[in-house]
Amino acid sequence: MNLLESCLLLVLVRGFCFAKTSIRVAHYGEDVSTSINWNVLYENIGKDFDLLPPETRIINKRDFLSTTRMLYDSMSQDGKLVAVLGTASVIASSNLESVCSHLCLPYVTVKKRSKNLHSSTFSLYPDSGLLSKAQATIIKSFDWDGFILLYEEDDGLLNLQEVLKLQNYNKDKPKNNILIKQLDPGWDNREVLKSLKNSTIRRIILDCNVERISEILMQAEEVDILSDFSTSIFLTSLDAHTIDFTFLNTLSNITTIRLFNPNEPSFQYRVLAYYPDITPNQIKLETALLHDAMLLIAMLINTVNGDIINQKNYCNSTKKFDQSLELAHKIRISIHDGLTGSQIDLHSGRRNRFNLEIIEVNKPHKPIATWNSKFPDTINLKRNATEREAELQRRLSSHNFIVTSRIGGPYLYQSKEPDAIGNARYYGYSMDLLKEIAILMNISYEFRITEGNLYPNLASDLVERRADLAICDFTITPQRQEIIDFSMPFMNLGIGILHKVSDEIEVDNLYGFLKPLSWAVWFYIWTLNLIISLVMFFVARLAPGEWKSPKPWDPNVKELENIWDIKNFLWLTLGSITTQGCDILPKAPSTRIISAFWWFFSLIISSSYIANMAAFLTMSKNVETIDNVEELGKQSKVKYGLVEGASTAAFFSTSNNSLYQKMWNNMKNEKPSVFEKDNANGVERVLSTKNSLYAFFMESTGIEYELERKCNLRKIGNLLDSKSYGIGMPMNADYRDSINAAVLTLQENGRLGELKEKWWKLERHGNPCPPVVQPSDALSLGNVGGVFIVLVVGIAFAYCLAALQFLWNVRRVSVEEKIPYAETLKAELRFACNIFLKKKAVKSNKSEKSSPN
């Protein structure tokens, strides 16, 4: 007896012994490729049933009529069909399901369902409403401000309704950006991905068939989206865990969800038993669901279909719904030891009890969190804070941070070493600050200078992901905060006004009173004064009108007298030029003519001097009296400017203050432009503009730095606002918290202060300035001090002359009276010091008595 004959005999014997009910299960699908292991059904079906070989029918999505006929034929063939297993899509199976419902035939499907189910349909695929809720909860837990939803089919978008509602979720944030884009049906999605690159959002939800995921990610890598540390991708496919992602070279965070854990021993055991050709982590969701569908069908047949079969109420039944099946639909039915859960509950035919695991694709062994349908609004984190930090640290350490910056002291200088490479090409405050942060965060970095060394390009570098950090005098502004993130501030400042100390008073000049006339003019005036005196002396000796009688009342006087000697003329010319006049005046016409011309000359010179002096003082006053921004705004003589396209310009252009608006309009319309490319150019312009006619709006930190080095600069008035510098980062960068923690540490341990001291004061590249003397409006000692000095010198000179005359007189008396010189000196000194003696005896006065002859 061969094997076949023995099997037949066994079946016959069994058939006689136990009257088994023959039953059949049909599989309706759109293709034959579905791998179903019917053994699961055979092994779980009750002993009372004899399962006939299952039939597989391929249905056409568009041909409802033939699908219906196929089912009726199958039913009427032998009346043994007890359940239908459906793997067709919703559209293709809708007709089938309604017929099954009409015939009270259980229809078990493994496809995603969104609509209401027929009364005899049982779906093992997680309920789409709940699944959408789960995805929304998970995305909410990621704390994303915005995301891009890349979807493949409209159906997928419908299933993500809850996720789309997240737009209204975060009420305290100005806006939660959600960008929705459909994937190209073709294989090339590079264009779509490139368009994402230009957006500030780097959180992507990819909703597509598992077969397309690898190809799309590869294209994302090609267009440089995945090179970005801050990019996060969430894959909605429940099969994404079956992909081997090692082909991707990325630091981006890719997460997905799965319905079962392929690493669980019980799962692996069942897979080994029923699907030995597939490794557990390659088991697709559909395979697992089909496995569980077998269990469900077996359970339905064992418990419910017995009744149906006994009642024989198939096509010809007048009853619409079988009581038992209806009941099964209403109560919660559970299957045990499925591949997609140890206990699978179905209520109203839906699978609305299930768990999800959230995994990072590069670490699939350990889920980062789980979601449970019992608490749909929460997720349970599976990694504690330390583990999460360790994971982030691992990612940070393996990334070389690109730091965008700009050259500008004291933040960053270009090294003078011609052979310097890498970061050694630069040094300065920013470099030191990042060095400290890098030590704290254990990261490596590379400085790059932004294009054109321009401030606006720093933000673009971050938005377009050319850099991970931006560090320099990078001001935190509301406009920038819309497109990038900032660390907590590392320096506080405000807008100030930089101006040059007036040229006229820039040096504290004691001889300022000489300034109205040039040195040549002074020389000519005094030389002329001497020459005129000499000329007049000779003219006066010749002029008869200048010879007068010493005793006009005495007609017998023998001699005439001429009062004009050189001394008197010098006195006269000096009295004229200083507009003081003189006690003696010339009498002769010739000397009077010369005097008249000299007076005219003196008039012109002294008026010019006074006018020039007044002009000098007025000009100093004009510039010096700009003491605040209001005064600067009111006048038009001194122009003012700022760095073009940077935060100070943004402050003025967006200000509601009428003064600042007016100043901004003035600045915009000024020709030539008052804007500068950077602070260094602004400072240079302030210094080089004559008569201090240019002021520059600059941040106080920069002003502080310049005042330390350029002594003829000053700061005008108070600060216009108050803001800070921060380290720029792409929006929602994963390392934001780590950078903040590092900045905080540096602030707390005083390192920030030390660095500022180092680069502002110690590393000065020059000599310190003396303390700035604030000039005042009044004529200061600085201006008139020289006059005092002249007076003191004059007094000293006169005193010396008097002393010499005194000594000469002592000598004359000692010779005439024949008394020793020392004794005479003692007696004369005693007499001079005795201030109460008013009379002096005439000792000898030959000289006084002698005639001019």
Which spans of this chain sit near ligand GLU (rule: CB under 6 A)?
455, 473-475, 642-643, 646-648, 698-699
**Residue 730 Cβ vs ligand GLU, minimum distance, rounded to whole Å:** 17
Nearer to ligand GLU, 92 or 642 (CB): 642
**Residue 749 Cβ vs ligand GLU, minimum distance, rounded to whole Å:** 26
Nearer to ligand GLU, 399 or 639 (CB): 639
Residue nearest to ligand GLU (CB): 646
Q: Do 130 and 306 contact (CB within 8 A), yes or no?
A: no
Kindly state the tokens that stand for 763: 């590393």
**Residue 643 Cβ vs ligand GLU, minimum distance, rounded to whole Å:** 4
Amino acid letter, 365: H
Parallel, antiparallel, or unpaired: how do β-strands 121-123 and 107-109 relate? parallel
| Cα 279 → chain centroid | 49
**Residue 460 Cβ vs ligand GLU, minimum distance, rounded to whole Å:** 13
Nearer to ligand GLU, 260 or 411 (CB): 411
Q: Do 161 and 133 contact (CB within 8 A), yes or no?
A: no
Nearer to ligand GLU, 220 or 698 (CB): 698
**Residue 696 Cβ vs ligand GLU, minimum distance, rounded to whole Å:** 9
Nearer to ligand GLU, 405 or 648 (CB): 648
CA distances from 763 to 300, 433, 504, 606, 707 (A): 85, 15, 31, 52, 14
Instruction: Write the DSSP string, 700-721.
Output: HHHHHHHHHH-TTEEEESS-S-
CA Rg, the chain, in Å? 52
CA atoms 817, 822, 825, 830: torsion sign = negative
Conformation bin of residue 348: beta by default, left when phi > 0, alpha when psi is -120 to 50:
left
Nearer to ligand GLU, 482 or 561 (CB): 482
**Residue 647 Cβ vs ligand GLU, minimum distance, rounded to whole Å:** 4
Residue 207 CA to residue 163 CA, distance in Å, equals 12
Nearer to ligand GLU, 354 or 474 (CB): 474
**Residue 656 Cβ vs ligand GLU, minimum distance, rounded to whole Å:** 19
Nearer to ligand GLU, 55 or 451 (CB): 451
Decide: helix, strand or coil at residue 335.
strand
**Residue 755 Cβ vs ligand GLU, minimum distance, rounded to whole Å:** 17
For the stretch 746-785, what's the b/e string if a residue is b when 16 or more beta carbons lie within 10 angstroms of its beta carbon?
A: beeeebbeebbeebbeeeeeeeeeeeeeebeeeeeebbeb
Nearer to ligand GLU, 130 or 495 (CB): 495
Q: What is the DSSP letter of 597?
A: H
- Helices marked H in 412-486: 429-441, 455-463, 478-481
**Residue 639 Cβ vs ligand GLU, minimum distance, rounded to whole Å:** 17
Amino acid letter, 419: D
Tell me phi and psi for residue 284, to 5 degrees: -80, 160
Nearer to ligand GLU, 117 or 643 (CB): 643
**Residue 641 Cβ vs ligand GLU, minimum distance, rounded to whole Å:** 11
CB contact set of 794 (below 8 Å; sequence gap of 6+): none
Residue 479 CA to residue 208 CA, distance in Å, equals 35
**Residue 403 Cβ vs ligand GLU, minimum distance, rounded to whole Å:** 15
Kindly state the tokens that stand for 71: 């089912």
Nearer to ligand GLU, 261 or 648 (CB): 648
Residue 284 CA to residue 725 CA, distance in Å, equals 51
**Residue 486 Cβ vs ligand GLU, minimum distance, rounded to whole Å:** 11
**Residue 485 Cβ vs ligand GLU, minimum distance, rounded to whole Å:** 15
**Residue 471 Cβ vs ligand GLU, minimum distance, rounded to whole Å:** 11
**Residue 472 Cβ vs ligand GLU, minimum distance, rounded to whole Å:** 7
Nearer to ligand GLU, 259 or 642 (CB): 642
Q: How would you write 259-282 as a 3-class SS string?
A: CCCCCCHHHHHHHHHHCCCCCHHH
Nearer to ligand GLU, 144 or 725 (CB): 725
Nearer to ligand GLU, 226 or 403 (CB): 403
Omega before 672 within 30 of 0, i.e. cis: yes
Nearer to ligand GLU, 28 or 725 (CB): 725
End-to-end Cα distance, the chain? 184
Element at 152 (helix H, strand E) = none
Strand partners, 81: 24
Kindly state the tokens that stand for 293: 């569908």
- From the list 540, 592, 527, the residue with the least C-alpha distance to 566 is 540
CA distances from 492 to 405, 434, 474, 755 (A): 19, 18, 11, 14
CB contact set of 613 (below 8 Å; sequence gap of 6+): 513, 516
